[in-house]
Amino acid sequence: MQFPESWIHGLAGGLLIGLGSIIALAVTGKVPGISGIVARLLKPSPGDIAWRGLFLVGLLAGAAITVTCYEPAKLFSIPVGRTLPVYAIAGLLVGFGTRLGGGCTSGHGVCGIGAGARDSIIATITFMAAGMLTVLMWKMIS
């Protein structure tokens, strides 16, 4: 099966993600940011485990279905020359950043902005500016 490459698929996916986050916020009353969901699974509150666990299972199931339906080589491209320790350090830095920033990019960018949270709007602008600056600096040195 060939992976579809159309802006329509991206638009539909974005709309479904936004709709899903609105539904999750309406049903649970909580912002469904992935870093917060996982962090609170590690330190759960009573009556809070079921929906967080179900969310995580759905996330993993969606990834498993995607990898099953499409060739992984067409979905993912891992740069040559990177080692497992580099990825481990990068993952730890991302985890530290999500805790420092009060959530991850999806939590702020999709869910927080959708809920009209001022902190999320500021955080998303900061993420975008930092990403643009990083790309600019990388292009200048390479």
What tens digit of pLDDT does each residue of 93-126 get?
988 888 788 888 877 888 888 778 899 899 899 9
pLDDT in tens, 23-75: 888 887 777 777 778 888 888 888 888 888 888 899 889 888 888 887 766 66
pLDDT at 137: 94
List, in order, residues 6 or more apart from 140 with CB less than 8 Å away: none
Residue 6 is classified by DSSP as -
* Per-residue CA distances from 14 to 7, 17, 45, 90, 138 (Å): 10, 5, 31, 26, 28
How many angstroms separate the CA atoms of 31 and 13, rounded?
19
Residues 99 and 6: beta-carbon distance below 8 Å: no
Task: Return all residues near 137 (Cβ < 8 A) that are at least 6 apart.
Answer: none
Give buried/exposed letters for 6-15 (b at 16+ CB in 10 A, else e).
Answer: eeeeeeeeee
Average pLDDT value for residue range 13-18:
85
Q: What is the pLDDT of residue 133?
A: 96
